[in-house]
Amino acid sequence: MTTPRQLRIFFMPFMSYGHLIPTIDLAILFAGKGVKATIITTPVNAPQISKVTERARNSGHEIQLLVTNFPSVEAGLPEGCESFDQAPSPDMQFKFFKATTMLKEPLAHLLQTHRPDCIVADMFFPWVTEVAAAFGIPRIVFHGTCIFSISATEHIRLYKPHKEASSDSEPFVLPDFPGNIKLTKSQLPDFVKQETWFTELYNEGKETELKSFGVIVNSFYQLESAYVDHYTKVLERRAWLVGPISLCNRGTIDITERGKKASISENECLTWLNSKKPNSVVYISFGSVANFNSAQLLEIAAGLEASGQHFIWVVRKGKKKEEEKEDWFPEGFEERMEGKGLIIRGWAPQVLILDHEAIGGFVTHCGWNSTLESVCAGVPVVAWPVASEQYYNEKLLTQVLRIGIPVGAQKWARLVGDFVKREAIEKAVKEIMVGDRAEEIRSRAKEFAEMARKAVENGGSSYSDLNALLEELRSTIDS
């Protein structure tokens, strides 16, 4: 038998943690299959990524970085602003996207010099398809979210069912979509309801799915089979589900330094968790982009205290000096919560925490990575969507999979989300941790965790999809 020829694939992640983390995992997954993987990134992002790629190289993977300058200043951003979480206002976000479009030329240069066999690039870079085509290089889209949400957004875009709704709060059903999924207008992104600077980029991103080789998805067939079938057969797109990708990256240091170095040591975190009973701690975190105001943080503190549950709460540090004061904590909160609640300021080792048996629930903004990490850990969720495609993910969790309950957030709002009151937080936390249905929901979550593990094992659906993709790429390139 001849050894199949080695594929050389470029990976181009969007520079936000929710996209960067799974794309690095993806590159490592491919490298584990003998692919020569190259990640394209920018100077500020390079040091963190190179730590991961160096570890992967030490364990025998062929993986490298190519660094290209990011035109922050040219796009009107502060120098060194190369990560989406460093753009904490709609105006800066606009400039950030503008800067990414200026990467066309440097990318063309890299493709011309290195001539990879294929490029996997984020959906936020729709222009990559054309740049790559000029060199005869196939482009694959990486969305970073699930098929359910990719398809739901496409149905909204194509059929605009929200236009028929009489008010912002009147539920409407997603037409011709499996599962009788209901949404309201207020849960939809602003750029869907009216043309904003983002609408064009978003539409191009969706259209790129059809113009590219196909779509790689960080999910697994059993989690959303009806929607995968719908996407491939009804929407007629090509997709390979190769996840949960996070399960491929299981060295301790990869877990504790996922995304960036955690603000708490592994030892301190585990010692605290080890002192708790199984399923007795609720974990609260809203990802890397959401940015709640002081009033909302106060409500979370009050709601958590009233729930009587033990908790780990990740409080993101404010970007401005005055936001670091933390004068929003209720009087004496931290003293009263001593031993009962662990507050992590900054970056938490999320996968390490979720995987611990003490964790019994996760209050999440439903970012897809957090959602899938929760699924992998068999942890049920309190769904608190904020923005992006998170309201769709909420519906998958609560209406389809039934491994979560909604906190009741109703309004999509970039960065800040809807305002949720302490009573709603208390009620939802109690319900998921100790309510009448808690056990039933938890056991369903555990079943999905088992399916996730099997999907990536030898012979599992994601394992087979990845092999099928590599084979197809080889035969396309050789033909």
| 8 Å CB contact between 364 and 384 | yes
Report the site for ligand UDP in 208-267 (rule: CB under 6 A).
258-259
In terms of CB distance, is 144 or 360 closer to ligand UDP?
144
Catalytic center residues: 19, 122
Q: Left, alpha or beta for 265 (phi > 0: left; psi -120 to 50: alpha)?
A: beta
The size of the interface with ligand UDP (CB under 6 A), counted in residues, is: 20
Build a one-symbol-per-residue string for 308-347: x at contacts with ligand UDP by CB under 6 A, - elsewhere. Answer: ------x--------------------------------x
Residues numbered 25 to 54 that lie near ligand UDP (CB under 6 A) are none
Cβ nearer to ligand UDP, comparing 259 with 417: 259
| Cβ atoms of 180 and 252 closer than 8 Å | no
Give ∠ CA 242-245-247 in degrees, rounded to 5: 120
The residue at minimum Cβ distance from ligand UDP is 18
Q: For the CB of residue 214, give the shortest distance to ligand UDP in the complex, in Å.
A: 22
Secondary element (H or E) of residue 239: strand 239-241
3-state secondary structure (DSSP) of residue 2 = coil
How many residues does the structure list for the chain? Answer: 479
**288 makes contact with ligand UDP (CB under 6 A):** yes
Write the burial class of residue 78 (CB in 10 Å: 0-12 exposed, 13-18 middle, 19+ buried): exposed
Q: Is 172 buried (19+), middle (13-18) or exposed (0-12) by CB count in 10 A? A: middle
Q: Does 285 bind ligand UDP (CB under 6 A)?
A: yes
Verify binding: residue 287, ligand UDP, rule CB under 6 A: yes
Kind and range of the H or E element at 274?
Answer: helix 266-274
The total of other beta-carbon atoms located within 10 Å of residue 126's CB is 24
CA dihedral 397, 403, 408, 412 (to 10 degrees): -20
Q: Which of 13, 18, 71, 243 is close enough to bind ligand UDP by CB under 6 A?
A: 18
Residue 23 binds ligand UDP (CB under 6 A)? no
- Cβ–Cβ under 8 Å, residues 150 and 144: no
- Nearer to ligand UDP by Cβ, of 279 and 285: the residue is 285
Closest distance between ligand UDP and the C-beta of residue 188, in Å?
18
Site membership for ligand UDP, residue 382 (CB under 6 A): no
User: Nearer Cβ to ligand UDP, position 118 or 315?
Assistant: 315
Min CB(159)–ligand UDP separation in Å: 26
> Binding to ligand UDP by residue 161, rule CB under 6 A?
no
Contact 375, 244 (CB under 8 A): yes
Residue 417 touches ligand UDP, criterion: CB under 6 A: no
> Given candidates 14, 17, 213, 227, which one binds ligand UDP under the rule CB under 6 A?
17
201 φψ region: left (φ > 0), alpha (ψ -120 to 50), beta (else): alpha
Which residue among 218, 369, 398, 462 contacts ligand UDP (CB under 6 A)?
A: 369
Closer residue to ligand UDP in complex, CB, 103/387: 387
Plot region of 65 (φ>0 → left; ψ -120 to 50 → alpha; else → beta): beta
Interacting stretch for ligand UDP, rule CB under 6 A, among 10-18, 93-101, 108-116, 201-209?
Answer: 10-18
> Structure tokens of 196?
């904003």
Q: Per rule CB under 6 A, is residue 370 in the interface with ligand UDP?
A: yes
10 binds ligand UDP (CB under 6 A): no
Sites of contact with ligand UDP (CB under 6 A):
16-18, 21, 258-259, 285, 287-289, 314, 347-348, 350-351, 367-370, 373
